[in-house]
Amino acid sequence: MANDGAWKDDEVRPLLLELLDERLQRYRLVQPRQERTLAQSMERYGQVSPVVICVHEQTYVMVDGFKRLRAARKLKGMERLDARRIDVDEQGAKAAIYNLNRAGQRPVELEESWIVHALVREDGLSQVEAAQLLGRHKSWVNRRLAMLERLCESAKEELRLGLLSPGIARQLTRLPRGNQESALKTTRESSLTCRELAGVVDLLLASSTTEQTEFVLSDPRRALRQSDERYIHQWDPRMSTAGNRIAKRLGFLLDSLAKMQTWLRYQGRGDLQACDGALLEAGFRRLVDESLLVADATGDFLKELRLP
């Protein structure tokens, strides 16, 4: 039972390992290799930084430092860990897990999804409220919810075990749940990269017949090569030099726009760090302006082509 007394904000206190509650561990992945490395470091150098705890119902609840705690329990003679306390409620503790692990390393998307799911589905926050608590945009919260709620059960389990990358999982969520198993099987059997799977998913979503779908799933790289040929302009002797030049430019532009549309819809801000937004904003505003101008000019050009 916690007897915290007047625990100051920056104060660090040694706490017995047996007093530390791990109920929030369910929002963190277990990573044995990193834990072994950390245990070796702690055995040689001791504890370098304090764990972070909060107090709930007179109990010291771990917020950050789960790997250090498990490593300490394996080391002989280590009975305590230095701890720093933060004053947060249960929702604040979940947000702290996310925010404390943003510094210095890229957060694991599955862990983010667990936290978002807990805040929205268990604690009843709206997506906007969860986004504000985590310092992110609503679209980021929506994508993290989709990671769990739109993903088939076998993919969820592989993701939890570290057998499936978050990037692959994100691409699978673009498909209906009933079609994800077959796409996952193809991904494993063909050892598809995340980029290759993104292309395969694009083809599956565009397939209008069972035969097309079966072809994409049975020979995904061949399907991707054939799809790419639609965007790579080959010299057409029926057209002039200027016509071939613009056809090549048009193919490149359509391919780039398709890739940008996929990124904006399924990745977007979740891929970026806080420092990126202000530097990219001008470029994206120009993209909007230029796209509108090109759309207007293209409409006029199409009308001209129909003139006798």
Model pLDDT for residues 208-227, shown as the tens digit of each residue: 788 889 999 999 988 888 77
Residue at 151: amino acid letter: L
In a domain, 181, yes or no: no
- Provide the residue range defining the domain that includes 79: 1-87
Q: What is the pLDDT of residues 76-134, one digit of tens each?
A: 888 999 999 999 998 999 999 988 877 555 557 778 888 999 999 999 999 999 999 99
Q: Which among 55, 87, 119 is the end of a domain? A: 87
- Asked if residue 209 is part of any domain, the answer here is no
Which of 157, 196, 153 lies closest to 178 in space, CA to CA?
153
**Tally of domains within the chain:** 2
For residue 98, CA distances in Å to 42, 93, 112, 260, 306 come to 24, 9, 7, 28, 57
CATH code, 55: 3.90.1530.10
Evaluate whether 78 touches 91 at the Cβ level (below 8 Å): no
- Residue 141 in any domain: the answer is no
Domain assignment present for 22? yes
* 229 found inside a domain: no
Query: In terms of Cα–Cα distance, which of 13, 88, 2, 76 is closest to 50?
Result: 13
pTM over the 0.85 mark: no
Q: Enter the tokens of residue 65.
A: 């430092």
Does residue 70 lie within any of the structural domains? yes
Give the end of a domain, one of 87, 120, 138: 87
Which residue shows structure tokens 């994206």? 284
Domain stop point among 43, 70, 87: 87
Q: How many CB atoms lie within 10 A of CB 230?
A: 10
